[in-house]
Amino acid sequence: MAAITTTEERDEGGDLLLWVLVWGELAAFGILLTGYVVMSMLHPESFALAKLHLAPRLAGLNTVVLLASSWQAALAVSSKGKPRLQRLFLLGAAFLGFLFVALKFAEYSSEWAATGDENLQTFFELYFLITGFHLAHVAFVGLLFVLAAIRLDRSTIVMLTTIWHVIDIVWLVMFPLIYLS
């Protein structure tokens, strides 16, 4: 006799679509970061020079903001049965995600001037591609958090929070690779 699975049990992260998204995101960022590492080995001097134009302290602050946002998302999941709290935590996660975006644009504005140097072009093309792709994910899922706060659905909250954690993991790999190495 087969066990009957309730909707709530399936919503706890077992959806095939969720895992396809997670592994797809990890593969895409894995390819981009592998390309970055290969190019940094082929052009170590220009990459080292280009990194002098980055703002690692601002990126470090952004790391804290992103992790705080992820914490808010996790609190939304754990606030099952408390819709007011879930909404507040989802909106908190979205707000901090949008703060990440704003800080990243402030960081970009200071780095953009260095893109005119032809010797640094390879680094900055990869840098803006990788961090911009990540930034697009943060902005998009932030918007989805706002929508999820309007129409609470446990499976949606779990899925968005899982994707948000994947976005965090990607940033936690990108940050030391790009800013600290």
For the chain, 181 residues long, give each residue's pLDDT as a single digit of tens. Answer: 444 444 444 445 467 888 898 999 999 999 999 999 999 999 999 999 999 999 999 999 999 999 999 999 999 999 988 999 999 999 999 999 999 999 999 999 989 888 888 889 999 999 999 999 999 999 999 999 999 999 999 999 999 999 999 999 999 999 999 999 8
User: What percentage of the chain carries pLDDT values higher than 70?
Assistant: 92
pLDDT per position as a tens digit, 22-33: 999 999 999 999
pLDDT per position as a tens digit, 75-116: 999 998 899 999 999 999 999 999 999 999 999 998 988 888
103: Cβ contacts below 8 Å, ≥ 6 apart: 58, 61, 62, 65
> CA 174 to CA 30: how far, in whole Å?
10
Residue 2 has a pLDDT of 47
